A = this chain, B = another copy of it.
Amino acid sequence: MGVAQRKEREKLELRDLILEASKSILLKSGKEGLSIRKIAAEIEYSPATIYLYYTDKDAILHDLMERGFEQLGHYMVPCWSESDPGKRILMIGQAYVKFALDHKDWYDLMFNSASPMKHLEKCKEDWDAGVQMFDTLVETCRLYVETSHRKHLKPEILALQLWASVHGLVNLAQTERLDIVRSGDSSELIFETLESIYLSIFLGAE
């Protein structure tokens, strides 16, 4: 009865094939260029076949999002060896921005697109990767607050404040709204503002 197991394995393999093709197209041609028909062409199957392995395009985007969180996790590995919570928060922010600048479309899918969320609604699955990532930031903020002289700060709010600031900065950059502020190389402006964000938080510390 090894047939059922092999079939199951093949099913997973094709799912993975679809996902890898999707990732490749996303990173190459962006979100606009990612269509069911192009995925089908890439893996040399009919478009209809995709729907035997994924219920939706949204379902594919959701899995793609999860892979994105894995990738983002890699960017954050160096942060965990930093014991000072303040410094670690800064490192997390920088890693986050670096990921966003390196993988514009992936970031967009993970943090701006509504599609993967629609899929979550349907399946009532958890938002595992995102929740976990935010929780670690909250935890680091809690550490910071405890070691600082501003114990009135709520770690949750502080974490959200940080996330929102960096997320907004990245989004303004990626939608070319930073040209309003200063034309030219935006990454310099980004990191200067990033520093300002952290200074305004940590300056109130002592």
Instruction: List chain A positions with a Cβ less than 8 A from chain B.
Output: 111-114, 117, 127, 130-131, 134, 153-154, 156-161, 163-169, 171-172, 175-182, 189, 192-193, 196-197, 200-201, 203-204
Contact = CB atoms under 8 A, between A and B. Distances in A.
A80 to B, nearest CB: 20
A165 B172 contact: no
8 contacts: A113-B175, A130-B180, A134-B181, A160-B172, A160-B181, A161-B197, A164-B169, A164-B197
A162 B111 CA distance: 20
Nearest to A135: B180
A182 B156 contact: yes
Nearest to A173: B164
Given A192-B157, A196-B158, A200-B201, A172 B163 contact: yes
Contacts of A193: 157, 160-161, 164
Contact of A127 (B111, B157, B179): B179
A161 B180 CA distance: 14
